[in-house]
Amino acid sequence: MSDHNLAPTPGDRATTFFKRNDVRRTSVIFILWTATFTILGIWLYPKFMPRIMSKEMLSAENIMIWFTIISAPIAGIVLALATNAFLNMHRGDTPPEEGPAVRTNGPVVVIWTVASTIFALVAIVWGIVELNVQSVEAAATSKSAMIVEVTGSQWLWTFNYPEQGIETHQLNLPINRPVEFDIRSVDVNHSFWPVQLGVKVDANAMVTTVVRTTPNKLGEIDVKCAELCGILHAYMETTGAVMTEADFDSWVSQVQQSGASA
Amino acid sequence: MTTLVTEQHARPVPNPKKSLITKLNMGTGVILGALFAAITYYLIRHSLQTITDGAVDPLNPNQNDQLLIATMMAWSIGFLIGIGAFIGPFRWLIGRDLTAEEQLYLAGDGQGIKRYFKYCTDHKVVGIQYLVGVMTMLGVGGTMAMMIRTNLASPGSKFITPVVYNSLVGLHGITMIVAMIIVATGPFGNYIMPIMIGARDMAFPRLNALSWWVLFTAIPVLCSAWFLGGIPTGWTAYAPLSVQAGAGMDAFLMTIIIFAISTAVAGANITATVVTMRAKGMKWNRVPIFVIGSTISVALAIPAFPTFMLSMIMTGMDRSFNTTFFDAHMGGSGWLYAHLFWIMGHPEVYVILLPGVAALMEIAPVFVRKPLFSFNAAVLGFAGIAGLSVLVWAHHMYISGWANNLNGPFMITTEMISIPTGLIFLVLIGTLWRGKPWMKLPMLSVFAFIWNFLIGGITGIYLSDVPADNYLHGSMFVTAHFHFTLMGAALTGAIGGLAFWYPKMTGRMLNERAGYISFWFVQIGFNVLFFGMFVAGAEGQPRRVADYAHQFATSNLISTAGAYSVGIGMIVLLWAVIHSWRHGKIAPMNPWGSKTLEWTVPYPVPLENFDELPVITSDPYGYGKGK
Amino acid sequence: MNEVKGGEELSTGRRLTSGLTFLALGILVVTGVGFGLHQASKSPQSKLYATVNGTTDVPGFGTLKHAFISESVWPDVQTAVDNGAKADRRHPWPFYGPASHFVLPAHALVTVTLKVYDGGEKLNHNYFAKVIGTVGNTMTVDGKVVDALAPDGVQHTFTLHGIPTSTQDPLFVNVPLPVADPDNKPGSFHTVTFSFVTQGVGEYVWNCEYPCGDGTYAKFGAVMGAQGYMSGKVSVVNV
């Protein structure tokens, strides 16, 4: 980089700013980083996250994708400036020449602060809106919801279906029927996590915590414990499935007859 | 920077009387500590036998807990008496104070290597003690991390059993958290900071020695946790699991109680020093940014840690006296514990982060030869983070179910932290802009920090959003996120600080080639390690599991490979530090051409740092041309 | 200024040697720690191999290898020794003996015979009073067929489960064990037998769901949090 870049005269700054070599190079790097993060956001989470089987799961994955995309330009600026500086590196045992004595730049600080505030606001508003949508839906479906009483004990989950009068260690649910999980623990804290449904809530002793969702895809679900609960915490897992109403009914009657699920 | 003669310091000739003070050292401390512990153990055991008319019932965990807690307390107090920590207060009790000679003796004047094993009040000695202590802790914690990753290399938990695994997770957590809290403020805050502000020592030199030796007494206590059956709870020690846990838990909670005392003492001391002992002319806007960052960090720790201590005292009472603070069956609440813990726990991560960031902000201007970009933004960033950090604790409890309606407000405060955090990035990249960074080890850390903290920051935004946290909470994603901030950002900052201040602390340059090798092994390994973990978390692997389903095998194997690379890099760094201490290139007084005060004193730094106290006329960032 | 202690700078060769030696030592130390932990992890997990003896027809599964395994549940070491069993547990706690790690053949009918000597009381969670996952969802107690116990008359449970994965078949067995009342009649016991079918190869765990960690929260501390007493592993392998 040539020396004249280091001390632009104030007058022609605005017009020549984007013609400066370092600015151009930084802009190119900015575009590359922004694109990288955008692609990462679009590719990474849909590729690796489990199947989306409820609106809650969709909302979680959307947040991860979109927040990556929204923050890509900010990451791009930071990384572009850092990369540019890195490429300008000075090596050797003597210090480099003195840089420009810029102590601050009022407009830059203000623009940066405003931009990061807007970014924070977007995240906040997004989250609040999602929360609100979820709680409105949960309230709307609370009357019609099928109740499943989930009990966490060291180190197993069990599920009581009061309407059907069965109790199992497998979480099977009918599709498109709102479900209300009433969760409690008989001992220490656990955390009930039906992974593909994208909801999670702690199981506490003597308190019932509630979480609602509506499974909207058929398929297997994994149920895990997400709160360290003692030596076999890792093994406090079980499976289940979202099935058609008919399949669910026949499973229920099978369990009712045998007294336990296979 | 101009220095003027303002004060001549008359130094008395060292002539310590052969009093008790000269006889006390770490050895007498250990002896008295062990003696106190043994006596207490037998007295309590005996009295418990008297109460229960017979042998202590090994099946009664309460009695065991009472016995152990009392013994550990006695060890700590005995050690401190044995090393002479209470000589000063004792003298005051009998109406006298230490004589000038004794004070000088306590400062370790002319005692060579021995002073590192004594109750030494010299801030530079305390700094080195902290440095060695921190490196030991990081080594132990890192070894445990290797064990954890080895077990997770493939599914089936084939390497160790879940009991051993859970203990390792808990001990790795607490060892690293303790080490990281003191990693920058301990060595650099004690050794460098007083010189940086032009002071002869800390405001309370004896408290300074106390903070280190109190912390030291926690080390055997923490180690004993392993032999008492380990801690199955992770470092968060959630009740009621912690109430259920075995005797190792008593060691854990005593460690925290002792550590909280140490932090309170150190925090009050550092804050008082910076507020009252700055050199003439060092107005607040001329204070080096590292000093500002560290002070805000320790000032944040002062209100934060007592709640942790309190939660541990309550856990101890639940365990040993059958109180029911956290037992929901008896009217207590586990949520109470979670609140007390996280009211400490979230400020605590910024207590860890800020000094590391501040060290890098100190480094960047020196190596870019430009002034720090927007000092005010840096201070605002630190202050904003510190202020907001006490209002966000319940984001760790979004899914606990304690009050779903409060998730919204806590989400707002949490996401607002991205604003002051943005200022920190601005200061660093603003300083870099149009500079030619001198690619020495400390400067490399600045770049690594920017990348790591960016990743940690963005993933933190997902976690702060409740609907995403519903999925991610308690998964490996969280583990990867906080390692990116605590290790990738804060530890990188501290290592940068070590490379930067090493010449002043040892008189020699840190071996550069080893430093570079270590840097790339650690940083590349670190990113591989935790990218693998991000993926495992996104796939749905819970954290703190000894075993996992087969679909997570690939990401876990990649993580483990990265972990081994970090391990190798850290061993190389440890070699560089040890080797260079003895055989490194002799350092000039100011190898980096920095303008802060610590580079104006020679090595070895004289006992009271300055012959003549400096007077400050500008801030230390007057680099660059065209002022 | 020249008071810097220590030696001279070393030549590049010696520095390299020193560095590499240190690296090797460091790796050796970490490996040593790992080896030690691995050894410490192994000892209480002494393995018990099922003995295969002929084949059996199981309705719904066809003809399977028939494997047998015998285990006891002791209230403490003394009772075990009094009844002629070998026992070397450190703590005075109830335990499964002789082993806590069972190795079973894949695609087999496994018949477990448990001699249970301990007393007991009430479960934390009544679900575990039911017999689940065995052939016919039943077990025999001293020869009588039983499909559940009263939740307040259980001494321990044998509860086998694992992490459901894409490559390992699910396996879930829960068997509650009846109280033997050793306080009134020392040495009294029940013989419990049950059979279950293993599928493909996999790693599972078993644990007791009866709260036997007296004096601890939910009675799930102490013995329940130790290895080799009330929990262990189950490996299903190809024989």
Distance, CA of A211 to CA of B223 (rounded, Å): 41
Distance, CA of A135 to CA of A129 (rounded, Å): 10
Subunits in contact with chain B (3 or more CB pairs closer than 8 Å): A, C
Smallest Cβ distance to B623: which of A101, A112, A200? Answer: A101
Is pLDDT above 80 for B365? yes
Distance, CA of A157 to CA of A91 (rounded, Å): 60
Subunits in contact with chain A (3 or more CB pairs closer than 8 Å): B, C
Distance, CA of B352 to CA of B184 (rounded, Å): 8
Are the beta carbons of A226 and B473 separated by less than 8 Å?
yes
Task: Return the number of other C-beta atoms located less than 10 Å from residue C229's C-beta.
Answer: 25
Cβ atoms A148, A161 nearer than 8 A: yes
Residue C108: Cβ-neighbour burial (10 angstroms; 0-12, 13-18, 19+): buried
Question: Who's near C115: CB < 8 A, 6+ residues apart?
Answer: C70, C71, C72, C73, C189, C190, C191, C192
Residue ranges covered by each domain of chain B: 22-118, 124-600
Quick one: pLDDT at residue A3?
A: 43
Distance, CA of A195 to CA of A208 (rounded, Å): 20
The rounded percent of chain B whose pLDDT value lies above 90 is 77
* Buried b or exposed e, range B245-278, using 16+ CB within 10 angstroms: bbbbbbbbbbbbbbbbbbbbbbbbbbbebbeebb
Quick one: pLDDT at residue B419?
A: 95
Residue C209: Cβ-neighbour burial (10 angstroms; 0-12, 13-18, 19+): buried
CA angle A66, A69, A74 (to 5 degrees): 130
User: Is C20 near chain B, with CB under 8 Å?
Assistant: no
Element (H, E) at B458: helix B441-464
Distance, CA of A127 to CA of A122 (rounded, Å): 8
Question: Who's near A253: CB < 8 A, 6+ residues apart?
Answer: none
Quick one: pLDDT at residue C81?
A: 85
3-class DSSP state for residue B495? helix
What digits encode the pLDDT tens for the residues B550-605?
899 999 999 999 999 999 999 999 999 999 999 999 999 999 999 999 999 998 89
Element (H, E) at C116: strand C108-116
Are the beta carbons of B246 and C227 separated by less than 8 Å?
no
User: Is A7 near chain B, with CB under 8 Å?
Assistant: yes
Which A residues in the span 12-41 are in contact with B, Cβ-Cβ below 8 Å?
Answer: 22
Quick one: pLDDT at residue A261?
A: 47
Phi and psi torsions of C70, nearest 5°: -125, 135
Cβ atoms A199, B470 nearer than 8 A: yes
Distance, CA of A19 to CA of A17 (rounded, Å): 5
Smallest Cβ distance to C172: which of A154, A169, A231? Answer: A169
Quick one: pLDDT at residue B343?
A: 93
Q: Give the closest-approach CA distance of C81 to chain B in angstroms.
A: 20
Would you place residue C43 in the very low, low, confident or very high pLDDT band (cuts 50, 70, 90)? low
Are the beta carbons of A227 and B474 separated by less than 8 Å?
yes
Closest CA to B464 of B422, B413, B404: B413
Quick one: pLDDT at residue C228?
A: 82
Give me the DSSP letters along B175-189: HHHHHHHHTTTTHHH
Closest CA to C77 of C64, C103, C96: C96
**Residue B233, token pair as written in the block:** 């709870």
What are the Cα distances from residue B401, in Å, to A113, A202, A206, A208, B335? 34, 6, 13, 9, 9
Would you place residue B350 in the very low, low, confident or very high pLDDT band (cuts 50, 70, 90)? very high
Mean pLDDT, rounded, for A28-56? 94
ipTM over 0.85: yes
Phi and psi torsions of B214, nearest 5°: -65, -45
Cβ atoms B580, B607 nearer than 8 A: no
User: What's the farthest any 2 CA atoms get from each other in chain C?
Assistant: 91
Closest CA to B548 of B231, B241, B158: B158
Residue C170: Cβ-neighbour burial (10 angstroms; 0-12, 13-18, 19+): middle
User: Is the bond preceding residue A155 a cis peptide, omega within 30 degrees?
Assistant: yes
Distance, CA of C181 to CA of C116 (rounded, Å): 10
Which A residues in the span 148-207 are in contact with B, Cβ-Cβ below 8 Å?
Answer: 183, 187-189, 191, 193, 195, 198-202, 204-207
Cβ atoms C118, C155 nearer than 8 A: yes
Is pLDDT above 50 for A169? yes
Q: Give the closest-approach CA distance of A93 to chain C in angstroms.
A: 18
Would you place residue C4 in the very low, low, confident or very high pLDDT band (cuts 50, 70, 90)? low
Distance, CA of B218 to CA of B265 (rounded, Å): 15
Mean pLDDT, rounded, for B473-493? 95
What digits encode the pLDDT tens for the residues B140-198?
999 999 999 999 999 988 899 888 999 999 999 999 999 999 999 999 999 999 999 99
Smallest Cβ distance to B625: which of A100, A104, A225? Answer: A100
Are the beta carbons of B583 and C10 separated by less than 8 Å?
yes
Quick one: pLDDT at residue A12?
A: 58
Quick one: pLDDT at residue A259?
A: 63
Is pLDDT above 80 for C181? no
Is pLDDT above 80 for B296? yes
3-class DSSP state for residue C213? strand
Query: Residue C63's beta-bridge partner residues?
Result: C57
What domains lie within chain A, and their CATH numbers? 9-89+106-140 (no CATH), 146-258 (2.60.40.420)
Q: Which residue has the tokens 């947040």?
A: A63
Closest CA to B218 of B133, B318, B302: B133
A92-101, B215-224, B539-548 — which is least confidently predicted?
Answer: A92-101
Residues in A closer than 8 angstroms to C211, CB to CB, are 187
| Average pLDDT taken over every residue of chain C | 87
* Helix/strand/coil (H/E/C) assignment for every residue in A5-57: HHCCCCCCHHHHHHHCHHHHHHHHHHHHHHHHHHHHHHHHHHHHCCCCCCHHH
Are the beta carbons of A230 and C163 separated by less than 8 Å?
no
Quick one: pLDDT at residue C152?
A: 86
The torsion angle over the Cα atoms of residues B116, B117, B122 and B125, rounded to 10 degrees, is 30
Would you place residue C6 in the very low, low, confident or very high pLDDT band (cuts 50, 70, 90)? low
Phi-psi region of B226 (alpha: psi -120 to 50; beta: other; left: phi over 0): alpha
* Helix/strand/coil (H/E/C) assignment for every residue in C159-173: EEECCCECCECCCCE
Q: Which residue has the tokens 């591989």?
A: B528
* Helix/strand/coil (H/E/C) assignment for every residue in B8-40: ECCCCCCCCCCCHHHHCCHHHHHHHHHHHHHHH
Quick one: pLDDT at residue B401?
A: 87
Is pLDDT above 70 for B244? yes
Is CATH 1.10.10.10 the classification given to domain B124-600? no
DSSP letter at C226 equals S
Quick one: pLDDT at residue C3?
A: 56
DSSP letter at A145 equals P
Question: Who's near A44: CB < 8 A, 6+ residues apart?
Answer: A68, B535, B538
Is pLDDT above 60 for B427? yes
Is pLDDT above 80 for C30? yes
Mutate to test the interface with C, among B159, B516, B547, B575 (most CBs of C within 10 A): B575
Distance, CA of B381 to CA of B430 (rounded, Å): 14
Is pLDDT above 90 for B349? yes
3-class DSSP state for residue A193? strand
3-class DSSP state for residue B479? helix
Would you place residue B59 in the very low, low, confident or very high pLDDT band (cuts 50, 70, 90)? very low
User: Is B625 near chain A, with CB under 8 Å?
Assistant: yes
Task: Report the side by side order of strands in the sheet with A146-153.
Answer: A166-168, A156-161, A146-153, A179-185, A209-213
Mean pLDDT, rounded, for B99-112? 84
What digits encode the pLDDT tens for the residues A204-233?
999 999 999 999 999 999 999 999 999 999
CATH assignment of C46-237?
Answer: 2.60.40.420
Is pLDDT above 60 for C41? yes
Query: Do you know the residue count of chain C?
Result: 239
3-class DSSP state for residue A213? strand
| Average pLDDT taken over every residue of chain B | 90
Are the beta carbons of A260 and C131 separated by less than 8 Å?
yes
Distance, CA of B337 to CA of C125 (rounded, Å): 25
Is pLDDT above 80 for C135? yes
Q: What is the crossing angle of helices B375-389 and B418-432, to 10°?
A: 160
Quick one: pLDDT at residue C10?
A: 81
User: Is C124 near chain B, with CB under 8 Å?
Assistant: no
User: Is the bond preceding residue A174 a cis peptide, omega within 30 degrees?
Assistant: no
Residues in C closer than 8 angstroms to A186, CB to CB, are 124-125, 218
Smallest Cβ distance to C227: which of B150, B161, B602? Answer: B161
